[in-house]
Structure 1
Amino acid sequence: MKCLHSLVLMLQFFTRLPLPWQIPFAEGILARAVVWLPVVGLVIGSINALAYEAGHLLAGPMAGILAAMGANLFLTGGFHLDGLADTCDGIYSSRKRERMLEIMKDSRLGTNGACALLMVFLARYSGLAMLPEDFIPWAVLLMPVAARACNPLLMLSRYAREEGLGNLFIGKVSRKRVALSVLLGGLLVFGLTGKAWLLAAYALTAAFQPLFCRYITGILGGMTGDTLGAGDELSEMVFLGLCCIGAYHGW
């Protein structure tokens, strides 16, 4: 029952799914529930894949890609995209660390954030459009799984602020639970497809996390909730890019 409560809580926190259950919140429960992030990604990816199939049935693959992107926005509320935009506005402002963190808390969208969002949308659409038509649903399904399963690796860092949503996770997760999340993600990717090269793509996506974390902590002195969101979005792009490479070479 506790496992089910943890899963529901993570779905409520990271998606806009109208779940009817009220789960009592206790300190540390979210940090312990990170093992369920691959399943959260699977739920999101499954709905995105269904949206793709519906759009494809009605008007072809391009419509399917747009439907999948729209479903992803609806399901997540642009939660991680907001983090990506805020992160880019802050770290590329060429200001001191304290001012960067202030900019990242500002609800207004700056030029750097807008450019980052535009590039991510273009990369997502064009990357999916490059794939063989029969592989697009798999990519749509697996991108959220890979990104969310690997995201806890970023939570092992220290927190760059004194307070905020990121403080619920960053520096609070155990290495065992992070390892379980990454392992479960790998099992899902390989178990659903049976393709070793996709498992390798997932492993490279996981390897991207410490590089991104080192880059951010070198600037901010730690991670924030916004940088976790940015890491998630960029991880999806890394996995999609590797899928494009694999598909191009006929793997």
Structure 2
Amino acid sequence: MASVESPVRLDSVHKTYGSGESAVEALSGVSFGFPAGSFTAVMGPSGSGKSTLLHCAAGLDEPTSGRVTLVGTDLGGKSETALTELRREHVAFIFQSFNLMPALNVEQNVTLPMLLAGREPDRAWVDQVIARVGLSQRVKHRPGELSGGQQQRVAIARALAARPTVVFADEPTGALDTNTALEVLNLMRELVAAGQTIVMVTHDPVAASFADTVLFLVDGRIVMQLADPGVEAVASTLAKLGAQAKRARGQR
């Protein structure tokens, strides 16, 4: 794993979509370093720039201005090939759309990113991760034979099995029942304890309470941070910021 103090760093990152009258500023000068071996949740009202932050941090979207550093590499001016290689080596994603290969079974989907990166999967660890997300009985099933929640669990196992430096997760527990969601969040906590860095967008205060820090975004800016967040504190902060954002939009 790459040894970098902050494997993900944003410095004065702005992201504007469109131009002229129709321009929308999704991020307004975000600066933050995500420490190695930390679990950070990103929350905020709808349209606050959470997914844009995730996409810029992962090099999937290019900032309009500012700098993004991923595992010690400045992403500015990098070719798509160089970005793909960097992500393949160091990064895993858990998205709301599962992006599973329909022709491959559970086990093959989980090990595919490692094989593409030219690495031999650690079979014992792969089996353990598949067991932890509750799919040991389904390893030979294809995505079409699984429910939405089960497909999300395959996507989570795929991300975790590769032991990447950084995991970017967008609502990873959104499609899961409560018990599976807690199992997955506990597994993510264990990975953080082992030195991985997780950046998770979520609207769920329970999921956020598993993080070390919660960043609250409003209109593309980090307006608040909560360390060692409790469920109640997260929920009340989110409600307060949502009400403020609503009022502010009403006044424009």
**TM > 0.5:** no
TM-score (normalizing by structure 2): 0.26
In proportion to residue count, which structure has more helix? 1
